[in-house]
């Protein structure tokens, strides 16, 4: 059924409109658009897209059903491998995963797998099909620490296999980065995220909010006192990094985590929310990842003039191409090859600007990336009222420091093998707390792997997966 | 398994008792069994009073693991604290999470170190409540503890009787002289150290930042180590946002995970006081 139709891009809110609201940018496919795009799939006998997906969704199969207009069947196929299709269809870096390996992409444009997944998941949500089949209860109890993508996907697989699963969430709302990190205009909370989490609850997964593992309860207490048979630690990325330059604690300097948490989790952009947020007239966002783009585009929607400051060139921006493209369309400005050296303050201690140096790309380092080098004598000042530091995170030491015998590496990340097994028997870990900050889908993949490993561990306790202690 | 509320919020949040301690200052006993069991002196909780409410850090003023109750003392200072204070006995806090932060250093001391130790605690205004569990903890372990409490006037004095029961001596300073010594807590400390020749191993101060700043300065002058509890802005309170960062000994620290208690001699109070005002204008004028 392959054909030479051009790839169908999903309709989007007009950039001039959307830069002033928090409604979703992508408007998605109509039924016809989805069916037509689905006919472009070559239905490869040995598909490259499936192994390129961290949770191995049977992509050609769900696309074949979509092409026939069998949207519920398509959703059923996705549901076998993914518990968060409406999320992944929106936030996955498809260009480096499924779509990046699509055969059509070699000579032309790959199938729009992400938007098809989004369509199928949304169609299903709106038409009420649910996939709640599960094995009978096996009497085993698993505790999951954190309700972000890793925790949710692990809970999903274990619940379907008959486990009694409790997720402990430190914040007042479940979802982890889906709630506090990714903005509404990329991932609607009250429809998409809430629905996916409600589905998990329907599967019998219990979510306890306001429980900080390491403080309210320890991992040891979960195993010894609360009688869980295994624990999966998926506590997420952790503490925001700063540059350690002068002026960084001036009023008006915030981490991207703080800015986004205020706006997403606490909904500061809505008049009804008691949580304040400050942008001033001009905002500088330091960094070039997806989080930097989210912060920049949020600040823009709050009414500020926004510039992203990044020390390499556009080619090296770690953010997804689509996010950079959207940010530019909306009017975010970019200052490449530029690095702040001082945050400048006024006499009241508020930010008034950044002193920056210009950079050039030097010789490639060990990782093969050309590292930026300061051009001497290139200092200049740029005026800004707010600086949002988006430089990544370092792991929160809370769980490692309160759990007996849990090994951590040099970066303070929890050490886990490819199945999620840690140095402590019965304790598994995955997602950002193991890898450092990464993507939603990689965390989901880690959650799935850990679920499989926990299943093996609890069904064959005599033969642990790996030699641990 | 611990008791669990029907909506999955394990920590309860039911206000089992509420009392007015002084004008605009309220004491609430909240059912939160896991928090009460895990709490140690020096720690705090995050509270939300409504679905649209801010996450507000409150230092734990007492805890009872047997009854599953933590005591919180709050004062009306802005919109969010008013919402918490408006909650009535029998109502529930929308959220309560904790205990957060590191416990006070002294919980790691040996029994003999505690027995031989001399502490001076200084509480200012609402800060009187959070020093209570610390004083009590030390007192029950045989430490010698003197307490200085400062308030604007007699009518705003809190925890007087409770405190008297757990310390060697309680000294009071009020701005208007309506009770105790007229003046500041630092005047009392000066008198204790210079006239009464009292010697202390550690001074612990909790209260307004400006008070902690001057107590820490005075302690340094007397070469007594000081500990202060920083009441910075916070959003999540678990290390995720960095709103609570303070400069301690030239290094940036997160109050929620590295603190809330720090060496008073090393804290940059002027920066901390300035950072506290970051959202004041928005809070006054609205968004």
Residues B233-256: what's their mean pLDDT?
A: 95
Cβ distance of B239 and A396 shorter than 8 Å: yes
Banded model confidence at residue A2, pLDDT cuts 50, 70, 90:
low
Q: What percent of chain B has pLDDT over 70?
A: 95
CA closest to A253 among chain B residues:
B243
Banded model confidence at residue A209, pLDDT cuts 50, 70, 90:
very high
The per-residue pLDDT of chain A, averaged, comes to 93
Q: Which residues of B208-243 are buried (b: 16+ CB within 10 A; e: fewer)?
A: bbebbbbbbebbeeeebbbbbbbbbbbbbbbbbbbb
pLDDT score of A37: 97
Banded model confidence at residue B221, pLDDT cuts 50, 70, 90:
very high
Radius of gyration from C-alpha coordinates of chain B: 18
Contact residues on chain B for A278, CB-CB shorter than 8 A = 278-279, 282
- Say if CB A332 and CB A308 are below 8 A apart: yes
Query: Quick check: B66 contacting A, CB < 8 Å?
Result: no
Whether residue B8 has pLDDT greater than 50: no
- Say if CB A304 and CB A268 are below 8 A apart: no
Whether residue B126 has pLDDT greater than 70: yes
CA closest to B275 among chain A residues:
A251
Residues B22-43: what's their mean pLDDT?
A: 95
pLDDT score of B71: 96
pLDDT score of A469: 34
Banded model confidence at residue A129, pLDDT cuts 50, 70, 90:
low
pLDDT score of B287: 66
Contact residues on chain B for A268, CB-CB shorter than 8 A = 287
Q: What percent of chain A has pLDDT over 90?
A: 83
* Cβ-nearest to B79 among A207, A257, A274: A274
Span A215-239, pLDDT tens digits: 999 999 999 999 999 999 999 988 9
Banded model confidence at residue A117, pLDDT cuts 50, 70, 90:
very high
Domains of chain B: 14-100 (2.40.30.10), 105-229 (3.40.50.80)
Whether residue A202 has pLDDT greater than 60: yes
The per-residue pLDDT of chain B, averaged, comes to 92
To test the contact with chain B by mutation, choose from A147, A276, A301, A392 the residue with the greatest count of B C-beta atoms within 10 A, namely A276
Residues B83-92: what's their mean pLDDT?
A: 93
- Say if CB B270 and CB B246 are below 8 A apart: no
Cβ distance of B238 and A239 shorter than 8 Å: no
Q: Which residues of B29-58 are buried (b: 16+ CB within 10 A; e: fewer)?
A: bbbbbbbbbbbbbbbbbbbbbbebbbbbbb
Cβ distance of A274 and B1 shorter than 8 Å: no
Beta strands, E only, A55-139: none
CA closest to B103 among chain A residues:
A215
Residues B49-75: what's their mean pLDDT?
A: 94
* Cβ-nearest to A239 among B254, B277, B282: B254
- Say if CB A406 and CB A427 are below 8 A apart: yes
pLDDT score of B285: 75
* Cβ-nearest to A258 among B4, B241, B287: B241
Of the given ranges (A120-134, B54-68, B183-197), which has the lowest mean pLDDT? A120-134
Residues B19-36: what's their mean pLDDT?
A: 94
Extract the tokens encoding B65.
């693991």
Residues B250-275: what's their mean pLDDT?
A: 96
Q: Return d(Cα B246, Cα B251) in angstroms, integer.
A: 8
Query: Quick check: B276 contacting A, CB < 8 Å?
Result: no
- Say if CB B262 and CB B227 are below 8 A apart: yes
Q: What percent of chain A has pLDDT over 70?
A: 97
Whether residue B4 has pLDDT greater than 50: no
Cβ distance of B283 and A211 shorter than 8 Å: no
Residue ranges of A 201-230 with Cβ closer than 8 A to chain B:
206-212, 215-217, 226-227
Banded model confidence at residue B280, pLDDT cuts 50, 70, 90:
confident
HSE-up of A337 (CA within 13 Å, CB side)? 12
Span A370-429, pLDDT tens digits: 889 999 999 999 999 999 999 999 989 899 999 999 999 988 899 999 999 999 999 999
Residues A4-9: what's their mean pLDDT?
A: 91
Strand order in the sheet with A427-429: A206-208, A164-168, A141-145, A230-233, A427-429
Cβ distance of B100 and A396 shorter than 8 Å: no
Cβ distance of A208 and B9 shorter than 8 Å: yes
Q: Return d(Cα B28, Cα A303) in angstroms, integer.
A: 40
Extract the tokens encoding B141.
């372990």
Of the given ranges (A254-263, B7-16, B112-121, B219-228), which has the lowest mean pLDDT? B7-16
pLDDT score of A365: 80
- Say if CB B70 and CB B100 are below 8 A apart: no
Q: What percent of chain B has pLDDT over 90?
A: 87
Looking at CA atoms only, how far is residue B253 from chain A in angstroms?
11
Looking at CA atoms only, how far is residue B191 from chain A in angstroms?
36
Cβ distance of B274 and A170 shorter than 8 Å: no
Whether residue A41 has pLDDT greater than 90: yes
pLDDT score of B3: 39
Residue ranges of A 361-420 with Cβ closer than 8 A to chain B:
396-398
């Amino acid at each position: 059924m392959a054909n030479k139709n051009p790839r169908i891009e999903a309709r989007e809110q007009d950039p001039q409109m959307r830069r002033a609201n928090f409604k979703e940018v992508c408007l998605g496919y109509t039924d016809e658009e989805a069916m037509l795009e689905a006919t472009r799939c070559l239905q490869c006998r040995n598909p490259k897209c499936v192994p390129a997906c961290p949770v191995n969704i049977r992509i050609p199969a769900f696309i074949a059903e979509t092409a026939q207009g069998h949207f519920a069947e398509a959703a059923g196929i996705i549901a076998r491998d993914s518990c968060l299709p409406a999320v992944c269809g929106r936030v996955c870096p498809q260009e480096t995963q499924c779509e990046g390996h699509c055969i059509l992409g070699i000579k032309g444009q790959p199938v729009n797998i992400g938007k098809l997944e989004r369509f199928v998941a949304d169609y299903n949500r709106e038409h009420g099909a649910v996939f709640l089949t599960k094995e009978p209860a096996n009497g085993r109890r698993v505790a999951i620490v954190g309700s972000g993508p890793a925790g949710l996907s692990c809970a999903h697989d274990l619940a379907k296999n008959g486990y009694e699963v409790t997720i402990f969430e430190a914040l007042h709302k479940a979802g982890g980065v889906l709630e506090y990190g990714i903005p509404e205009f990329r991932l609607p909370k009250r429809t998409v995220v809430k629905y996916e989490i409600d589905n998990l609850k329907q599967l019998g997964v219990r979510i306890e909010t306001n429980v900080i593992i390491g403080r309210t309860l320890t991992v040891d207490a979960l195993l010894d006192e609360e009688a869980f048979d295994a624990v999966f630690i998926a506590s997420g990325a952790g503490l925001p990094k700063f540059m350690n330059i002068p002026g960084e604690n001036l009023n008006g300097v915030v981490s991207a985590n703080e800015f986004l948490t205020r706006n997403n989790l606490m909904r500061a952009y809505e008049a009804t929310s008691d949580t304040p947020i400050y942008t001033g007239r001009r905002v500088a966002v330091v960094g070039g990842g997806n989080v930097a783009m989210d912060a920049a585009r949020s600040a823009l929607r709050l009414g500020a003039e926004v510039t992203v400051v990044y020390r390499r060139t556009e080619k090296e921006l770690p953010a997804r191409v689509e996010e950079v493209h959207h940010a530019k369309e909306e009017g975010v400005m970019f200052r490449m090859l530029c690095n702040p050296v001082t945050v400048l303050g006024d006499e009241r201690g508020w930010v008034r600007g950044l002193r920056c140096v210009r950079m050039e790309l030097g010789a490639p380092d060990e990782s093969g990336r050309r590292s930026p080098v300061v051009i001497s004598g290139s200092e200049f000042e740029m005026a800004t009222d707010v600086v949002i530091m988006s430089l990544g995170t370092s792991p929160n030491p809370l769980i490692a420091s309160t759990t007996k015998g849990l090994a951590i590496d040099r970066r303070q990340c929890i050490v886990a093998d490819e199945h999620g097994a840690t140095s402590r028997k019965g304790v598994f870990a995955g997602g950002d707390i193991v890898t450092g900050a990464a993507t939603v889908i990689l965390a989901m993949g880690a959650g799935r792997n850990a679920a499989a490993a926990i299943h093996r561990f609890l069904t064959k306790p005599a033969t642990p997966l790996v030699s641990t202690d | 398994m611990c008791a669990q509320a029907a909506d999955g919020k394990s920590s309860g949040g039911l206000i089992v008792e509420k009392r007015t301690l002084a004008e605009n200052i309220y004491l609430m006993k909240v059912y939160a069994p896991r928090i009460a069991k895990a709490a140690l002196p020096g720690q705090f909780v995050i509270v939300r009073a409504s679905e649209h409410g801010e996450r507000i850090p409150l230092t734990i003023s007492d805890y009872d693991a047997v009854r599953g109750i933590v005591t919180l003392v709050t004062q009306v200072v802005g919109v969010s604290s008013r919402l918490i204070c408006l909650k009535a006995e029998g109502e529930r806090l929308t959220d309560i999470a904790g205990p957060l932060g590191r416990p006070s250093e002294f919980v790691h001391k040996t029994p003999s170190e505690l027995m031989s130790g001399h502490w001076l605690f200084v509480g200012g205004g609402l800060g009187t409540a959070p020093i209570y569990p610390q004083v009590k903890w030390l007192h029950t372990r045989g430490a010698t503890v003197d307490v200085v409490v400062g308030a604007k006037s007699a009518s705003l004095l809190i925890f007087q009787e409770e405190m008297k029961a757990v310390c060697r001596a309680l000294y009071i300073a009020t701005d208007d002289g309506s009770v105790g010594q007229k003046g500041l807590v630092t005047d009392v400390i000066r008198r204790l150290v210079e006239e009464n020749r009292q010697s202390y191993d550690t001074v612990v101060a909790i209260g307004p930042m400006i008070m902690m700043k001057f107590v820490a300065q005075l302690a340094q002058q007397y070469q007594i180590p000081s500990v202060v509890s920083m009441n910075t802005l916070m959003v999540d309170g678990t290390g995720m946002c960095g709103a609570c960062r303070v400069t301690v000994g030239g290094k940036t620290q997160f109050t929620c995970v590295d603190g809330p208690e720090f060496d008073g001699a090393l804290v940059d109070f002027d920066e901390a006081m300035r950072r506290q005002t970051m959202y004041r204008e928005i809070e006054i004028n609205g968004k």
